[in-house]
Amino acid sequence: MSGTIALPIAVLLGIVLAPFAQIWVQRTPKRLGFSSELKCSACAAELPSAALIPGLGFIKSCVCGASNTTNFALLASSIFLASFVALTSVEEPAALLIYLVVGFFLSVLSAIDMDLHILPNIIVWPMNWSVLASFTVLSLIHADWNGLFVAAIGAVVLSGILFLSFLIYPKGMGLGDVKLAITLGLLVGWLQPGVTEAIVYSLYVILLATSVAGFGGLLISWILRRERTEIPFGPFLVAGTLVVILAS
């Protein structure tokens, strides 16, 4: 799909889905069941139902006076970017749907990781198995197993390298990042024509994520005048993956 067509669609998806992504962000870490109840990020008071209406969520303020515009805008931007990359990079409709759905949950996970420095298993593991199962079904339908094999290589390389990093220096890498890398590796590998490309682009993801995260950590430490600042690695992994998919 051309960028001209993909752009308005991605913008619409970001605006429409951001309020619902915020519900996942608020309820998932607490293991609460899904509902349409959206709460203020400052005082946890329930926001009016109108906040779920696309667009209105960006201007709704709570009775406590706090504005929730920033949270909605960040989530909408994240969903927009993930959707735009999927729309411009994936041609097959069934695979495109997979990338769009996964993009939504990657946005949710990035927001949770930025806030709490965790990547909840309740989202990560079902997402890993769902992506693997979906690609298996597509391979079965097309009677072509090369894509699944290459995707699996991407997942093994990306998650394997991060797992080695975890073993060498556990304080610098969480297992949540390792588990997230399984899905990211599958997404990168599925779009590559061969094993070599899957390995190379998986390495590019790690290179981009570590470089930007390292620079970001130094910048934040300098701004806050701290010797060390812990930053979540998950959002940088996701960002690196999106850049690599778009570039490849």
pLDDT in tens, 178-213: 999 999 999 999 999 999 999 999 999 999 988 887
* pLDDT (0 to 100) of residue 65: 46
* pLDDT (0 to 100) of residue 232: 85
The DSSP symbol for 143 reads T
* pLDDT (0 to 100) of residue 182: 96
Where would I find the H helices in the chain?
A: 3-27, 69-89, 93-116, 121-142, 146-168, 175-190, 195-224, 234-247
78-101 pLDDT per residue, tens:
999 999 999 999 999 999 999 999
* Global pTM value: 0.85
> What pLDDT band is residue 22 in, cutting at 50, 70 and 90?
confident
Q: What percent of the chain has pLDDT over 70?
A: 77
User: Could you tell me which residues are beta bridge partners of residue 46?
Assistant: 39
Q: Is the sign of the CA dihedral 38, 40, 43, 48 positive or negative? A: negative
Distance between CA atoms of 125 and 115, rounded to whole angstroms? 20
* pLDDT (0 to 100) of residue 61: 52
* pLDDT (0 to 100) of residue 24: 83
104-138 pLDDT per residue, tens:
999 999 999 988 888 999 999 999 999 999 999 99
Q: Copy the structure tokens of residue 194.
A: 């061969």
Q: Copy the structure tokens of residue 100.
A: 């769009």
The number of residues in the chain equals 248
Distance between CA atoms of 84 and 172, rounded to whole angstroms? 31
Question: By the 8 A CB rule, do 57 and 18 touch?
Answer: yes
- Sketch the domain layout of the chain as residue ranges: 1-89, 118-248
Mean pLDDT of 158-180: 88
Q: Copy the structure tokens of residue 81.
A: 């970017």
CA separation, residue 221 to residues 141, 147, 218 (Å): 51, 42, 5
Whether the pLDDT of residue 43 is over 80: the answer is no
Mean pLDDT of 157-170: 90
* pLDDT (0 to 100) of residue 160: 94
Q: Is the sign of the CA dihedral 218, 229, 121, 162 positive or negative? A: positive
Whether the pLDDT of residue 29 is over 90: the answer is no
* pLDDT (0 to 100) of residue 74: 86
CA separation, residue 79 to residues 75, 99, 159, 173, 211 (Å): 6, 11, 23, 25, 23
